[in-house]
Amino acid sequence: MSAAKIVTAAVIVIGNEILSGRTKDLNLGYIATGLTGIGIRLTEGRFIPDVEAVIVANVNELRARHDYVFTTGGIGPTHDDITAASVAKAFNVPLILHPVAARLLTDHYGPENLTEARMRMAHTPEGATLIDNPVSIAPGFRIGNVFVLAGVPRICQAMFDGLKGSLAGGDPVLSRTVSGYIGEGVIARDLGLLQDRHPALEIGSYPFFRQGKFGASFVIRGIDKAEIDAAAVELHTIIRHLGAEPIDGEPAM
């Protein structure tokens, strides 16, 4: 088998309101699930405030070591929306009025309602391409390997869904889940030995409490379907030997 093609990504959630707890982030998990589905591994997430120097440092650190970086938040019309200007600074290019974005906003608001503040949303770093916003028109943008998305979850998620098809994934990470009403502390030793027998796989154990009983779901992830299936068969046997019934997937709620 040839070496796996690994494609990685990072998400940067930008916003004081997230760090103060006022707003709960819903975007990282959404992007995570979407990336996993197309063979891109989210290996790092950052939550940072609306501070230019911090945004610049994080964008530059993460774009250097990942195939893709996604930012969320800070691209609206108000003074606290500084993501576009900060990303321009990170790339050391000027922030310019993007002609297509300007036309989109002019058509949407009408020239009489197109305040200077709204025109802020038509500014991108020089060289950026637009990301479609089917919800509220004001676009996101891509520059280099950095994708700048809105913070409002409905808009962020629509932007991500729209651009997802343009991303080049690696070998998809496949997974199988086997569950059982069995204590993690009971199965842990055999589970560790199973992991040792399959170093190319990643076996995770996630406890749950359902129908009044404790149990755990075991997620086997990797890129070789045959090896995942073989490990799942072994896991069934382990669970049975310990006196429980293996369940394919998650147990019923």
Q: Can you give the binding site for a second copy, defined by CB under 8 A?
A: 11, 13, 16-26, 28-36, 41-50, 76-80, 109, 113, 115-118, 120-121, 152, 173, 175, 184-189, 191-192, 195, 202-207, 219, 221
Determine how β-strand 140-143 pairs with β-strand 41-48.
unpaired
Specify which residues 95 forms β-bridges with: 125
Half-sphere exposure of 114 (CA within 13 A, CB side): 17
Shortest Å, Cβ 216 to a second copy: 8
Shortest Å, Cβ 127 to a second copy: 26
Output 91 or 218, the one with its CB closest to a second copy: 218
Q: Largest Cα–Cα distance in the chain? A: 74
Q: Is the dihedral of CA 95, 99, 100, 106 positive or negative?
A: positive
Output 143 or 151, the one with its CB closest to a second copy: 151
Shortest Å, Cβ 221 to a second copy: 7
Amino acid 1 reads M
Shortest Å, Cβ 236 to a second copy: 18
Output 64 or 92, the one with its CB closest to a second copy: 64
Output 84 or 121, the one with its CB closest to a second copy: 121
What is the rounded distance in angstroms from the CA atom of residue 48 to the CA atom of residue 161?
Answer: 24
Reduced to 3 states (helix: H, G, I; strand: E, B; else coil), residue 98 is: coil
Output 5 or 214, the one with its CB closest to a second copy: 214
H-type alpha helices, 69-210: 83-91, 99-109, 116-120, 153-163, 184-197
Shortest Å, Cβ 188 to a second copy: 3
Amino acid 105 reads L
